[in-house]
Structure 1
Amino acid sequence: MNNPIYHLENRKIFSLSGPDRLNFLQGLVTKDVNRITDGGVLYTALLTPQGKYLFDFFLYKSGDIIYLECEKERADDLYRKLMMYRLRSEVEITDEADRLTLLSLDRPLDSALVCCADPRLPELGYRAIVTDLPEGCLSPGKSEYDRKRLGLGIAEGAQEFIVDKSLALEGNMEELNGVDFDKGCYVGQEITARTKHRAVIRRRFVPVNVEGPLPAPDTPVQNEDGLEIGILRSGLEDQAIAYLKLEKITFGKSYRCGNATIVPWKPDWMKLEEKNV
């Protein structure tokens, strides 16, 4: 196909409306929501007050509506968290699962309600919110999307991030345009800023090539001395993401993981301070 279109059936969409929709989000998430333009998109996260990961998701602006695209499996948890923070804000959060769905594709789709270049990396192509699946759409398309994503070394969602444990910067969210450091306060901002300015991130979600059977999630990764240096998180065939101690690994070197061998590699977009390697 010249422009393969994948239906991401594992994603869910909410709409946020009302006069306080932007201010409500601005005080919660890691990106500056006031910078989103009409027809644009942001990649961002909601953290705990201690700066630990809870959810990562995308925000799209279309007129007076903000669409929030998130993991389908954890959408109810995210909805409850947003409602907890809503308090007296004039914002309505609506489940759009029966009306809207998400596509991943290589080029813009004119018929989409909203279609934007993925804000993380150009190589990820476009994300489109649609009311109907277009002709020729591959459904389900999650595996093909994950194959592309893992091939670029990108962690995404709770399949790789560790809820209430990992930090946004450990998930490379700075390099992938998921964090702003010049916006006002948001939940978890103090720890995120402190991690940035100390320039020491001891663990990272790192892409690995897998030689042998793909290990189960959270299988320990061991060095040549049998010491645990991290865990595997999620993968597909011979590609995966592992949560590793940077000071304990060498990119391009083999490590044991279950009945397989993994080899960490460094994507061109990943920035590492000398203290981290």
Structure 2
Amino acid sequence: MGGMTDRTLISVTGEDAEDFLQNLVTNDVTRTRGGGIVYTALLTPQGKLIADFFVVGQAEGLLIDAPAAVAPQLFQRLSMYKLRAKVALAESPLQVRRGTGTPPAGALPDPRDPAMGWRLYGEEGGDDGSDWDALRVAAMVPEWGRELGPESYILEYGFERLNGVDFRKGCYVGQEIAARMKHKTELRKGLARVRIEGIAEPGAAISAEGREAGTLHTVAGDSALAYLRYDRARGALAAGEAVLRLEDPAGA
């Protein structure tokens, strides 16, 4: 496993590397030319999330920076799509460092939100000890295994706001579903930030006037990320003994 213990890096090389990923993922990977970075996702044909990850431009080919927990499934799905494309997939020996202070030479800004700091790819991994959960909650950035999972629809989790989807690029797997959700009048469910009065644990069911309204996820101090039905999330919400109040729905 490359980099931080919760990340796996996959190299994508060969003359078709860019076109290969461009035809599969939600964002425009041509933006990585010259060493750039994009945040993106691979979806099922039904528009559900397989994995969210970064794609980084390299001197030769591209580098995928993915959650370790979903990297085997991502690798398997990419291999399935490879067919006759002139592409090689391999686990990379590079590692990733991240931090929020002054970025070291060669570091790339996290494309999701400036508050998420920088990422540096090289021989050393680790981070600077920033409180990543607090940063994610404040910036409403979901994480695989916490908010995000294999049933997620990316627009419900703010991927447009987080620069994770490009509606102007060409076709990709699951595009029709994502485009349909984009052009609906409004999303009925999705990521939100809530204020907690009391003690509530991640995974707690959220109710509104006795009706199921969502699930609590990452908690940081008296704020948390939650997945909510927006039509039921007006006024006071409850998670066990705690009272929750909606701070900010992500929407798109």
Does TM, normalized by the shorter one, top 0.5?
Answer: yes
SS of the residue 1:12 aligns to: strand
The one-letter code matched in structure 2 to 1:221 is I
Moved more, 65-74 or 237-246: 237-246
Aligned residue among 17, 42, 48 for 1:46: 42
The answer to whether the 8 A contact 2:51-2:74 is kept is yes
> Which among 55, 64, 69 is matched to residue 65 of structure 2?
69
Select which of 9, 13, 21 maps to 2:5.
Answer: 9
Other-structure match for 2:206? 221
Residue identity matched to 1:241: L
Q: How many residues align?
A: 250
In structure 1, what residue type is equivalent to 2:219? Answer: G
Structure 1 residue 8 displacement after superposition: 4.4
Which consecutive unaligned segments of at least 5 residues does structure 1 have? 1-6, 273-277
| Residue 128 (str. 1) matches residue 120 (str. 2) | yes
Q: Give the CA RMSD over aligned residues.
A: 2.1
Q: State the TM-score, normalized to the length of structure 1.
A: 0.83
Compute the displacement of 1:240 (Å): 2.2
Aligned counterpart for 2:98 among listed residues 98, 103, 110: 103
Q: How is 1:247-266 mapped onto 2 (pairs within 5 angstroms)?
A: 247-250=231-234, 253-266=235-248
Partner of 2:229: 245
What fraction of aligned residue pairs are identical, expressed as a percent?
35
Q: Closer, same or farther in 2 for the Cα pair 1:238/1:266, shift >3 Å?
A: same
**Residue 85 of structure 2 corresponds to residue 89 of structure 1:** yes
Tell me the distance in 2 between the aligned counterparts of 1:214 and 1:194: 35
Preserved contact between residue 41 and residue 49 of structure 2 (Cα < 8 Å): yes
Mapped to 2, the partners of 1:237 and 1:54 lie a distance apart of: 30
Q: Check the 8 A contact 2:156/2:251 in 1, yes or no.
A: no
The aligned counterpart of 1:207 is 193
5 Å-filtered alignment, 1:94-243, equals: 94-96=90-92, 98-110=93-105, 112=106, 115-133=107-125, 138=128, 141=129, 144-163=131-150, 165-217=151-203, 219-223=204-208, 225-243=209-227
Give the residue type in structure 2 aligned to 1:125.
G
- Unaligned regions of 5+ residues in structure 2, if any? none
Aligned equivalents of 1:132, 1:152: Cα separation in 2? 27
Tell whether the 8 Å contact from 1:214 to 1:236 is kept in structure 2 after alignment. no
Deviation, structure 1 residue 264: 2.1
* Normalised TM-score (structure 2): 0.90
Distance verdict in 2 for CA 1:78–1:235, change over 3 Å = farther
In the aligned structure 2, how far is the partner of 1:132 from the partner of 1:182? Answer: 36
Alpha-carbon deviations, 1:198-230, whole Å to 9, x = none?
23211111122233333242x22101x210011
- Give the letter aligned to residue 150 of structure 1: V
